[in-house]
Amino acid sequence: MKLEKPIFLISTRADKLAKAVKDSPKTVTVWIRTGPFKYKLPLIRSVIVYEAKSKPEAKDYTKRFVSVLTIPKTHTKLSILKDISSNQVLQLLTYTKRDGFIRTRTHDYDFFKNKKSFLAWKVRGKVIYSLINRRGKLFGLIWFNKKRANNPTQKPTVRIYQHARGKGLRKKFKEIVLTNYKLVH
């Protein structure tokens, strides 16, 4: 589901978020899990798009937000965001070490051995998009080389991680990111 002009609702109350989505399905909901309503889950589980731990994290999410992607045949909503958070970098490093497919068929391990190698790779001019679930678990990445931004034939590098493969995410994720990338660059 691609949202042209998202309406963000940030709240500590899951019931408010559920009501907002019922009133307007285009609403992107961010639940700040603090206070007395921390464990009160929404009636409709798929209503929460992202669960933030603090207001600054919720605001960062809204700044980086690109679109929502629903996993086919489920009600699970994933978020597509620009860049990658430090928590997701740690997940990326772990996935790269443990995923045999990534280790044997890509050069990712050279770039993502540790945080230092990741930062050295990123500084070389990468435009990164991440695909995450409501709790911030990294499902996939797409990146472009900035140096080739003006090249109309430039293709992005797409990675869908082991727990997210076979769900039909790659094609839709790539389409949404390409559309956003072309608008921005």
The CATH number covering residue 134 comes to 3.40.630
Query: pLDDT tens-digit profile of 135-164?
Result: 999 999 999 987 765 665 678 999 999 999
Query: In this structure, are strands 157-160 and 138-145 parallel, antiparallel, or unpaired?
Result: antiparallel
Question: Is 38 found in the same domain as 94?
Answer: no
Q: How far from chain centre, in Å, is Cα 84? A: 8
Asked if residue 58 belongs to a domain, the reply is: yes
- pLDDT tier for residue 68 given thresholds of 50, 70 and 90: very high
More confident residue, 64 or 24: 64
Helices 86-98 and 115-123, axial angle in degrees (round to 10): 110
Question: Is 122 found in the same domain as 56?
Answer: no
22 and 52 Cβ atoms separated by less than 8 Å: no
Nearest-angstrom CA–CA distance, 2 and 30: 17
Percentage of the chain surpassing pLDDT 90? 54
More confident residue, 41 or 74: 74
Asked if residue 174 belongs to a domain, the reply is: yes
Contacts of 111 (CB under 8 A, 6+ apart): 117, 118, 121
Of 16-20, 31-35, 107-111, least confident by mean pLDDT is 31-35
Number of domains in the chain: 2
- pLDDT tier for residue 89 given thresholds of 50, 70 and 90: very high
pLDDT value at residue 151: 63
More confident residue, 5 or 183: 183
Q: Which of 54, 39, 58, 46 is nearest to 17 (CA)?
A: 46
Question: Is 141 found in the same domain as 112?
Answer: yes
169 and 140 Cβ atoms separated by less than 8 Å: yes
pLDDT value at residue 1: 43
Q: Which residue segment(s) compose the domain that 30 sits in?
A: 7-65
